[in-house]
Structure 1
Amino acid sequence: MLASTYSLIFALFSVTVDCSPLPKALVPRLQQLDGETVPDRFAFNDAVPLARTGWTAVADSIQGGDVANRVLDGNANTLWHSEYTPALKALPHTITIDMKKNNWINGFAYLPRQDSSNNGNIGQHTIQVSKDNTNWQQVALGTYGNTKLEKKTLFSSVQARYVRITAYTEAQGTNLAYTSAAEINILSGPDPILPRDTWKVSADSAQAGNAADLAIDGDVDTKWHTPFTGGNLPGYPHTFTIDQGAVTAVSGFSYLPRPDASGPNGRVGKYIIQYTNNTNTWADAASGTWVDDSNPKTVTFPVHWARYWRLRALSEAGNRGPWASAAEINLHDGSSKGVKTPLPASLGQWSETIDFPIVPVAAAVLSNGKVVTWSAQWADSFGGGTGQTQTAIFDPATGKVSQKIVTNTKHDMFCPGISMTADGKVVVTGGNDAAKTSIYTVASDAWASGANMQIKRGYQGQATLSDGRIFTIGGSWSGGYGGQDGTPFKNGEIYSPGANKWTLLPGANVKKILTQDAQGPFRTDNHAWLFGWKGGFAFQAGPSKQMNWFDMRGDGVTTSAGNRGDDNDAMNGNAIMYDAVAGKILTIGGAKDYQETTATANAHIITLGGQGGAVSVTKLTSMKYARSFANSVVLPDGKVLIMGGQHFAKPFSDDTAVLYPELWDPATGKFTVMNPANNPRNYHSVGVLLPDGTVFSGGGGLCGSCTSNHFDAEVFRPPYLFTASGALATRPTITKVSATTVTVGDKIQITTGGTVTSFSLIRMGSATHSINTDQRRIPLTPTKTASGYQITVPGDSGIALPGSWMLFAIQNGVPSVAKTILIKAKPI
């Protein structure tokens, strides 16, 4: 685990109850490999329990026969419980697992008591590890929800013998001081996959059209396959060889067979995995036999430093013929396992894992610096029109995560539109309760109902305009399919916050933004990429390949802005306004269909001029990784961080997940791969910029008893927060601003702690389903004054949208902690 140089300060807090369904048991198949027990069936980034034979547990307190070792007995009906009679021992409580030897671990699983009581369910907690039971390292913190569901916390791979959890509160939010656990497991799994952009691959043979490089193209529908036509077909062994181009640390090998839809022929059965640095003398890293199915296969082994790796296929899993095939092949990065610790700060660093009592499917950064998140009616699943929402607020300054169930608005806010108003409120529309509007006010920490929309919507696009009104369009995921069964096409409508009124705009024509999705009207009008612009206009950049202008005057007018270059439809891709002054939007990734299709690595720059005017599109060199369901955040220095996503778009799955973020530099147009995250972030994940210049990345899943629920988040510290040697960079400070509420065109006097070279404004972001239309960046060049600096807010509220912004000072590329500025609009 990385040393936590920007560790969050922990604070005590309480939570309230939620009502999640019970999980199904997940029992992995195991095989023996080189003296280690490893899974033979593995999602690429999964983790499974280690065998607990011989382990012991000790606790600070026990009640009668409810001893600590009961968490290791494999019986969910027994439990450890802290003392409550004859005397109640006060929190915090600890339980420590001794694995009797050092193991590489990357996760902790906690099963609460499974009887009718919730007493002792752990809420706020920390998780620490140690090699000697004396020196401890924190790897996770946060809150567990008050459910019977097993809680799984993943973190960076670390070597440890002892693991302990410290409970600070009960999840049920009472004043009692109990702590209990039915079972505790320590998890281990493969490390992140290595980048493949420098690889050269070859095979002993290949069928025409099924060359070796199709197994590293990120497309699960293409494959390497040995010859299967003609006479004298080559027999076993078949070999697939990787030249990485350089020596790297490798800790595992992943093999994805061809998918079921294309047939089973060539699935590898008996295999040997080998490595070398000279291609003459090969050493064995692993061997075994894979089962005959299409599930991903992963084997882990001790770290080997090598340039060349090969898979030797010795049999076909179903004995159907003399073939071998592979849809995708990956190697796993072993550099964190004591070889290069910490990882180079020049590629950024990730925080410890932050546990949440919900899966954070949606998030909004508030003017007080906190982040409000929410899921649906349940913490881990969703249903239709339930009238309540599970929320949690994260405070980056303290590490506090507090939970609340919102019922007063009668609005299940799953799969909504989100916008931030001119006075900093959060407006959430539609979703499961498809006509509803809910409004969160920061000062009162309270939700209230707004007017219902004219059209029921879910998965709609939504954006704040230059006059402070909010525009929305599309959204056939909920409230009926547009244009079918009596449901009107989901043309635009506009919300006036002052009047609390929605008005239809029949001229804002949704038909102009439809994609050609394979699932039809259910998907074709989803997640429009919208940007408020000059003169009250909105620009639609995607995900359809065609772009459009929306004029809000009268009944609305829709005007084509042409196609997004040679890009195709890019559903669940990203669009980020990284330079609002220049009208620059970066678009990346996505896929032609919402799901069950291969993502792209495409990247383009869109440049806007005047409202309704000509739009130019420039194609960029592609990202290193194809991504769908990713999240992207613009940073104070103008670079864009792209996080998570997967090669093959598949909701509620972590297969083909991309753990490596990429940092795009507008000065060079290049994407640089960053250090990998601890957890996959795919469908239903979020990413937002925090006021200290770090990035919040969390969530994914919300699928009940599935294995891809992520009740957690991480914070990424970009490279600009570190020196070349890995030390913390000296950050500029903003000590005073002349005004925290301004109007477009106003000047702001700023006093700083030292010299700065530039400033930037970034609007508070809100994200769900890969959409964050609120974020945008304004670069500012200051004028030096006697007392510090002067900046001028752009005079057009189509550039400086009304609302709450983060003001950063920048020196030598390093940003300050932001000051919050509220920008007001001038009338159009």
Structure 2
Amino acid sequence: MIAVRFFPFAQRERYLKALFFFSLMWLLPGFGGVSSAVASESTAHSEGEFGPLHDWPIIPTAMMLMPDGRVFAYGSNTNGTQGGKMHYVIWDPSMGTGMDAFEVLPNTTDTDIFCAGQAHIPGSGQALILGGDARVNNIRNYANSDVNIFDPATDTLMRQTQSMAFKRWYATAVTLPNGEHAVLGGRNDRFYKGTKKIPATVATFSPIPEVRAVDGSWRTLNSASSDYAYGALGAASWFYPRAWVNPQGNLFILAPNGKMYSLDTSGDGVLTKYSTKIEPSQASLSSVMYAPGKILTIRKYRKAVSVDLNDPVKPAVSAAGYLAKDRQFGTATVLANGQVWVNGGSSTGNDLVGAALDTELWDPDTNTWETVASAATARLYHSASLLLLDGTVITGGGGAQGPLTQLNGEIYYPPYLFKTDGSGEFALRPDIIDAPTTLVNWDQQFSVEASESIARVTLVRAGAVTHAFNQETRFFDLPVSEMANIVTVQSPASPNLAPPGYYLLFVWNASGVPSVARIIQLG
């Protein structure tokens, strides 16, 4: 059986045309035909590879995978500049990467959602967008307290009547075990030195977290105020604070200065500082939850650390090796197999001098890093990467402000999609024939059927990524007792481990090749 490469349709058509052309050229004398050289073995099965660079109608600074498999993205106007009336985009990966796969819609909410917080809303399939930018005296990068919801059923962005108590620019939103959302951090007002006509302003921040209830009402956690955990201090801890729900049901907060906190979001809130701390980092370096209660965080000087939150007393810290390159403004993405892929970034900040085109892959089983496929262009500040239903990763954006205005994207095809024979061909994939279509509860058994024997089942929470941080992603291996076309697996044990919402279900064959995912809902 001939394996056809699994590019989306538009890319696949271009690929086949190019393959035909170069196959003919390879046979021509003087071009290095089969009689004069042996074709080199592909490294796609060990390094993965990138698809062609393709255009985007905006800079995708922020991206969310919606329950219907489409990507909701925003970040600039259609000319690639920051602006309060920016557009948002819905991309359908099943239609390929041509411009006809993108729906470009105007933001009519009167909210500048540039650098907002974002999270999925369990049950509704909608996206929650919190705060963002504002102009004061025609100067950008202040903040707003607006609340907006994107509804994929109508592709509309809707301003809500109830706002947050605090203005927030660069805030983090986290889905809680009960379906509520905690929002923390963000800047309130910016520093501005002033002019004769425009008065100076002092930088202020939002050191009190808030919680949005399921009914849309808000409460402030006044007893949990902190400049260090998610306020002005602590090495820019206001800048998209790194926070996740821990296995005990509280928020775990990892500050760039290496200090760690637990936030109980009940009542008025209780903030506790752990005695454990690690090396300092920067707000521009990525962290991601790669396993239940386990975080991979990239610190300064290329050092990676694993933080295990499963001990209720205090986090356990272990070394996770060193990256080959410093990747400020790069993004860590959990793949369908639980490995972590890091792309983009620069050793010199938002600057092309130290920009990295090659990417790196961390294997939690061996605790080792490997340099893998190289991209066509740099991904720096305001870029993002997101796992898709087919197990690939869309990476795009960068700019506004930046050395390049990146109205484009690339798709990374991880090694698990390729045959292992060095041919560079895509492997044949199993198909999911049947999987749950109704709500799955925690600690519940359910059946999955595939087109061939299932060797492994994995679950990855649908992502929401911006500014080097995907706070929604979580990964689970669901043990399979015996290989068969129909297997029974157990969902994660509790909402503390797997908050309610939408998850990508992958099945794997004996060759280690995944299916295209089905979306299931936990709740």
**TM over 0.5: same fold?**
yes
1:190-209 aligned at under 5 Å gives the runs none
- Say yes or no: does 1:558 pair with 2:275: no
Q: 2:210 pairs with 486, 493, 498, which one?
A: 493
CA separation of 1:4 and 1:490: change in aligned 2, threshold 3 A? farther
Q: What do you get for the CA RMSD once the two structures are aligned?
A: 3.0
Distance 1:784 1:684, change over 3 A: same
Distance of 2:255 and 2:74 partners within structure 1: 26
Cα distance, 1:693 vs structure 2 = 0.6
Q: Could you tell me which residue of structure 1 aligns to residue 197 of structure 2?
A: none
Matched, 1:717 2:413: yes
**Which residue of structure 1 aligns with residue 461 of structure 2?**
763
Per-residue displacement from partner, 1:125-176 (whole Å, max 9, x unpaired)?
9899989xx9489xxxxxxxxxxxxxxxxxxxx99xxxxxxxxxxxxxxxxx
How many aligned residue pairs are there?
482
Distance in structure 2 (CA, Å) of the matches to 1:736 and 1:802: 22
User: In structure 1, what residue type is equivalent to 2:8?
Assistant: L
How far residue 485 of structure 1 moved from its aligned partner, in angstroms, is 5.0
SS of 1:638's equivalent in the other structure is coil
Conserved 8 A contact 1:362-1:373: yes
1:539 maps to 2:236: no
- Contact 1:473/1:510 (CA < 8 Å) preserved in 2? no
1: CA distance, partners of 2:450 / 2:52:
31
Q: Contact conserved, 1:377 with 1:412, CA < 8 A, in 2? A: no
Structure showing greater radius of gyration is 1
Equivalent in the alignment of 1:619: 319
Q: CA deviation at 1:747?
A: 1.7
Task: Give the Cα–Cα distance (whole angstroms) in 2 for the partners of residues 614 and 821 of structure 1.
Answer: 32
* Alignment of structure 1 residues 563-574 onto 2, 5 Å: 563-565=276-278, 567-574=279-286
Amino acid at match of 1:373: A
2:239 paired with 1:526: yes
Which residue of structure 2 aligns with residue 367 of structure 1? 67
2:170 maps to 1:459 = yes
User: Alpha carbons of 1:489 and 1:712: their partners in 2 closer, same or farther (altered >3 Å)?
Assistant: closer
CA contact (8 A) 1:696 1:714 kept: yes
**Normalized per residue, which structure has more helix?**
2
1:513 to 2:201 alignment: no
Alpha-carbon deviations, 1:322-343, whole Å to 9, x = none? xxxxxxxxxxxxxxxx985865
Pairing of 1:284-433 with structure 2 (within 5 A): 340=40, 344-377=44-77, 379-383=79-83, 386=84, 388-399=85-96, 400-423=100-123, 424-433=125-134
Structure 1 equivalent of residue 520 of structure 2: 821
| Match among 291, 295, 316 for residue 585 of structure 1 | 295
The match for 1:728 among 411, 414, 426 is 426
Counterpart-to-counterpart distance in 1, 2:231 and 2:166 = 20
Shift of 1:444: 2.0
2:287 and 2:205 map into 1 onto residues whose CA distance is 28
CA distance in 2, matches of 1:760, 1:786: 16
Of 157, 169, 179 in structure 2, the residue corresponding to residue 447 of structure 1 is 157
Question: In 2, Cα distance between the equivalents of 1:790 and 1:770?
Answer: 36
2:32 equivalent in structure 1: none
Aligned 8 A contact 1:427 1:439 in 2: yes
Show structure 1 runs of 5+ residues with no match: 12-124, 138-157, 160-337, 592-599
Following superposition, the deviation at residue 525 of structure 1 comes to 1.7
Output the TM-score relative to the length of structure 2. 0.85
Counterpart residue identity of residue 514, structure 2: P
| 1:674-701 deviation per Cα after TM superposition (whole angstroms, max 9, x unaligned) | 0101111111000010011111110011
- Whether the aligned pair in 2 keeps the contact of 1:572 and 1:629 (CA below 8 Å) is yes
Partner Cα separation in structure 2 for residue 493 and residue 407 of structure 1: 25
Structure 1 residues 542 and 736, CA gap change in structure 2 (3 angstroms): same
Amino acid paired to 1:607: D
Other-structure match for 2:451:
753
Which segment is superposed worse, 447-456 or 779-788?
A: 779-788
1:251-289 Cα deviation digits (max 9, x unpaired): xxxxxxxxxxxxxxxxxxxxxxxxxxxxxxxxxxxxxxx
Shift of 1:406: 3.2
**Partner residue of 1:141?**
none
The aligned residue for residue 774 of structure 1 is 472
Select the structure with the greater relative contact order (CA < 8 A; seq sep ≥ 6): 2
Indicate conservation of the 8 Å contact 2:250/2:265, yes or no.
yes
Partner residue in 1 for 2:137? none
Question: Which of residues 458, 463, 487 is equivalent to 1:789?
Answer: 487
Structure 1 residue 674 corresponds to structure 2 residue 372? yes
Please give the alpha-carbon distance, in whole angstroms, between the structure 1 residues aligned to 2:502 and 2:448: 18
Cα distance in 1 for residues equivalent to 2:323 and 2:53: 27
Moved more, 403-412 or 660-669: 403-412
Task: Measure how far apart 1:428 and its partner are.
Answer: 1.1
Work out the CA distance in 1 between the residues paired with 2:89 and 2:237: 31
Partners of 1:417 and 1:430 within 8 A in 2:
yes
User: Which amino acid is 1:346 matched to?
Assistant: S
Q: Which residue number in structure 1 is paired with residue 220 of structure 2? A: 504
Equivalent in the alignment of 1:661: 359
Q: Is 1:575 aligned to residue 287 of structure 2?
A: yes
- Of 326, 331, 340 in structure 2, the residue corresponding to residue 631 of structure 1 is 331
Distance 2:471 2:181 in 1: 11
Q: Read off the aligned partner of 1:468 and give its amino acid letter.
A: G
Give the secondary structure class of the aligned counterpart of 2:89: strand
SS of the counterpart of 1:751? strand
Q: Does 1:470 align with 2:187?
A: no
Q: Return the alpha-carbon distance in structure 1 between the equivalents of residues 111 and 159 of structure 2.
A: 8
Q: Give the drift of 1:804.
A: 0.7
Q: What amino acid maps onto 1:546 in structure 2?
A: K
SS in structure 1 at match of 2:10? coil
Alignment-mate amino acid for residue 391 of structure 2 = G
Task: State the secondary structure of the residue aligned to 2:453.
Answer: coil
Opposite residue 218 of structure 2, the aligned amino acid is: W
Task: Kindly indicate whether the alpha-carbon contact (under 8 Å) linking 1:358 and 1:380 is maintained by their aligned counterparts in 2.
Answer: yes
In 1, are the aligned partners of 2:72 and 2:91 still within 8 Å (CA)? yes
Give the C-alpha shift of residue 813 in structure 1: 2.6
Correspondence for 2:388 = 690
Shift of the 779–757 alpha-carbon distance from structure 1 to 2, 3 Å rule, reads: same
DSSP-derived class of the 1:720 partner: helix
Matches within 5 A, 1:55-74: none
User: Percent identity of the aligned residues?
Assistant: 27
SS of aligned partner of 1:672: strand
**What stretches of structure 2 of length at least 5 have no aligned partner?**
27-37, 135-143, 192-200
Matching residue within 284, 288, 308 for 1:607: 308
Q: Structure 1 pair 418/4, CA: closer, same or farther in 2 (3 Å)?
A: farther
Shift of 1:407: 3.0
Structure-to-structure mapping, 1:69-108, within 5 angstroms: none
CA shift at 1:455, angstroms?
0.4
Q: Secondary structure at the match of 2:46?
A: helix
Partner of 1:798: 496
1:531-570 per-position Cα deviation (integer Å, ceiling 9, x unaligned): 02345411112333101110011110111123443x1133
Distance of 1:360 and 1:467 partners within structure 2: 30
Change (3 A) 1:452 1:341: farther
3-state secondary structure, aligned to 2:94: coil
